[in-house]
């Protein structure tokens, strides 16, 4: 099974949209090893995602988990894979050497040209020049690493420029999502500007397509792909089924935004998982009532219970912000998809079908 290990609640950054309550609480080795055992207890593959706070504050735990799981994988014959989401500031060559040997997938949280607006060190110092160096180092070891940008309203004017910048740095894949949560407030004019920036981004993606550059930008690329392939129902959000977070104290919840709500506690690494509760929750995670009858329902990410809960307090209620954003994204992606198909149908099919 797949577990997201919150190795620490602590972080060395102070991002404007961070949803974590930072407190210096670290996972113990005892919890870590029990979580690894749990990951190997079901299915044919054990998956760990190292997460935080900032996971690289606990590099020692990551090394221990990798050694332990690789040995367990050899003994049991079960596959083991791992990934990590990091703010990147603490990456170094020794860590990247070990991560590469474990075939770790690394997602680098990097807001591109808006980095210093939203992502600063605790104390307020800028992070962009450090991050640029760390991104180059990461790509020199693991060229397929992904840049993960979170766009808050104040970062919108830099959206298209950031996509270009991350591409020029050498990322082949980037993920752009919009920021949600209590610390973020979107206005209609932010959304108008977001549309303009998405259109500029689509123009840039067209330029790259013509140059035969396989750069993949997930926000738009995924919408084109889903239009052609149809969204895989298995990819829809089923809370607590595909990936389960483990807190530093070993508690299990359906997804990050539910952490701390006892109502959604699904067990812990010592006593195991309450399967009946997981099943009950998974059945509840379906298409939101307000979306019934919408033509876009099969292409919309309305089913993300975690985002819905952050925005509306209810995992099955989509916010007007999410609905507006999804409609905008699908419209712009469809227009771009048609243009790319006209330019080179064969290449288009190869890239998206």
Which residues here bind ligand SF4, judged by CB under 6 A? 11, 13-15, 18, 20, 52-54, 87, 109, 119, 291, 294, 296-297, 300, 302, 318, 322-323, 326-327
75 phi/psi in degrees, rounded to 5: -70, -40
Nearest distance from C-beta of residue 14 to ligand SF4, angstroms: 6
- Please, which residue, 5 or 11, has the CB nearer to ligand SF4? 11
Minimum CB–partner distance for residue 112 and ligand SF4 (Å): 15
State in angstroms the smallest separation of the CB of 288 from ligand SF4. 6
The residues with which 305 forms a beta bridge, in sequence order, are: none
For residues 160 and 166, the answer to whether their CB atoms sit within 8 Å is no
Task: Check if the beta carbon of residue 102 is closer than 8 Å to that of residue 59.
Answer: no
Nearer to ligand SF4, 86 or 273 (CB): 86
Report phi then psi at 109, rounded to 5. Answer: -70, 115
Q: φ and ψ at 24, to 5 degrees?
A: -75, 65
Q: Which is nearer to ligand SF4, 56 or 156 (CB)?
A: 56
**DSSP E strand stretches across the chain:** 2-6, 45-51, 79-86, 105-109, 146-151, 173-178, 216-217, 244-246, 251-252, 267-268, 272-273
Nearer to ligand SF4, 77 or 293 (CB): 293
List the one residue out of 187, 185, 165, 186 whose CA is nearest residue 176: 165
Nearest approach in angstroms of CB 56 to ligand SF4 is 10
The C-alpha atoms of residue 135 and residue 105 are separated, in whole angstroms, by: 14
54 vs 251, beta carbon nearer ligand SF4? 54
- How far is residue 9's CA from residue 151's CA, in Å, rounded to a whole number? 22
CB of 252 to ligand SF4, least distance (A): 20
Min CB(11)–ligand SF4 separation in Å: 3
* Nearest distance in Å: CB 270, ligand SF4: 26
Nearer to ligand SF4, 111 or 190 (CB): 111
Residue identified by tokens 């680098």 is 108
Q: Which is closer to ligand SF4, CB of 13 or CB of 217?
A: 13
């Amino acid at each position: 099974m797949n577990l997201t290990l919150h190795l620490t609640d602590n972080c060395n950054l102070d991002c404007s949209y961070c949803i974590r309550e930072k407190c210096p609480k670290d996972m113990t080795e005892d919890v870590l090893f029990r979580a690894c055992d749990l990951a190997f207890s079901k299915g044919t593959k054990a998956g760990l995602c190292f997460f935080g706070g900032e996971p690289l504050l606990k590099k020692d735990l990551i090394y221990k988990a990798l050694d332990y799981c690789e040995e367990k994988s050899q003994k049991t014959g079960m596959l083991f894979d791992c990934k990590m989401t990091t703010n990147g500031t603490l990456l170094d060559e020794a860590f990247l050497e070990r991560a590469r040997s474990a075939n770790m997938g690394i997602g680098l949280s990097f807001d591109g040209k808006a980095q210093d607006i939203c992502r600063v060190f605790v104390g307020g110092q800028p992070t962009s020049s450090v991050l640029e160096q760390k991104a180059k180092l990461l790509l020199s070891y693991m060229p397929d690493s992904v840049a993960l940008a979170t766009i808050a309203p104040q970062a919108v004017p830099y959206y298209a420029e950031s996509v270009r910048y991350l591409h020029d740095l050498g990322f082949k894949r980037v993920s752009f999502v919009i920021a949600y949560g209590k610390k973020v407030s979107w206005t209609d004019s932010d959304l108008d500007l977001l549309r303009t920036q998405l259109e500029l981004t689509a123009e840039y993606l067209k330029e790259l397509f013509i140059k035969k550059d396989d750069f993949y930008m997930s926000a738009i690329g995924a919408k084109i792909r889903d239009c052609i392939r149809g969204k895989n129902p298995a990819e829809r959000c089923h809370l607590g089924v595909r990936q389960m977070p483990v807190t530093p104290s070993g508690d299990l919840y359906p997804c990050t935004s539910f952490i701390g709500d006892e109502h959604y506690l699904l067990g812990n690494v010592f006593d195991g998982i309450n399967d009946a509760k997981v099943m009950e929750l998974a059945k509840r995670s379906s298409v939101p009532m307000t979306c019934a009858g919408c033509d876009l329902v099969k292409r919309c990410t309305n089913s993300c219970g975690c985002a819905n809960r952050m925005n509306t307090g209810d995992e099955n209620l989509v916010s007007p912000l999410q609905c507006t954003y999804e409609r905008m994204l699908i419209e712009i992606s469809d227009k771009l998809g048609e243009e790319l198909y006209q330019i080179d149908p064969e290449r288009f099919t190869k890239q998206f079908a």
